[in-house]
């Protein structure tokens, strides 16, 4: 007898939600990386300014996509969701800047590679924060 080893993310709702979050996050991270590269390499800004500019320039896209696609909360954003989303975003930005300072400023790793590493490191933190708190049915206002 053989067992069916295939599965579909809908069989595991949390996995499916995480995969959708990773898809949205990958899209937003690509935009962030492009803006970081442009502002740093072409405009000449310090990478801290490029990161901060890209965070606030792109995260509204992540908010809308995560609300509609990842967490399936419909098209209407609640004010509490937006506050919580940006609280997590600002906390993530602060941690991102600290990690970038360590990776680029102290360890000498390229700023673009460091940005990718930091994004990968904080993916689980951001997913859990948004899943448990930002878009949770218990925190809807």
Write down the pTM of the prediction: 0.81
pLDDT tens, position by position, 81-126: 889 989 999 999 999 999 999 999 999 999 999 999 999 999 999 9
In a domain, 134, yes or no: yes
Distance CA 103, CA 99 (A): 6
In a domain, 124, yes or no: yes
Residue indicated by tokens 């708190």:
133
In a domain, 3, yes or no: no
pLDDT tens, position by position, 4-62: 555 455 556 788 889 999 999 999 999 999 999 999 999 999 999 999 999 888 989 99
In a domain, 1, yes or no: no
Given CA atoms 30, 34, 40, 41 in this order, what sign does their dihedral have?
positive
State how many domains the chain has: 1
Distance CA 20, CA 69 (A): 7
In a domain, 2, yes or no: no
What is the model's pLDDT at position 120? 94
In a domain, 110, yes or no: yes
Distance CA 116, CA 95 (A): 14
Range of the domain at 105: 9-139
């Amino acid at each position: 007898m053989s067992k069916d080893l295939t599965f579909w993310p809908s069989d595991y709702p949390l996995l499916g939600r995480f995969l959708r979050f990773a898809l949205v996050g990958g899209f937003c991270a690509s935009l962030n990386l492009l803006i970081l590269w442009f502002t740093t390499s072409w405009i000449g800004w310090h990478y801290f300014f490029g990161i901060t500019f890209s965070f606030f320039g792109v995260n509204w896209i992540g908010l809308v996509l995560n609300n509609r696609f990842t967490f399936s909360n419909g098209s209407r954003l609640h004010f509490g969701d937006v506050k919580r989303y940006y609280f997590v975003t600002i906390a993530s930005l602060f941690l991102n800047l600290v990690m970038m300072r360590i990776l680029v400023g102290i360890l000498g790793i390229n700023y673009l590679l460091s940005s990718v590493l930091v994004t990968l490191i904080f993916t689980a933190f951001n997913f859990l924060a948004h899943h448990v708190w930002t878009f949770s049915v218990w925190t809807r206002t």
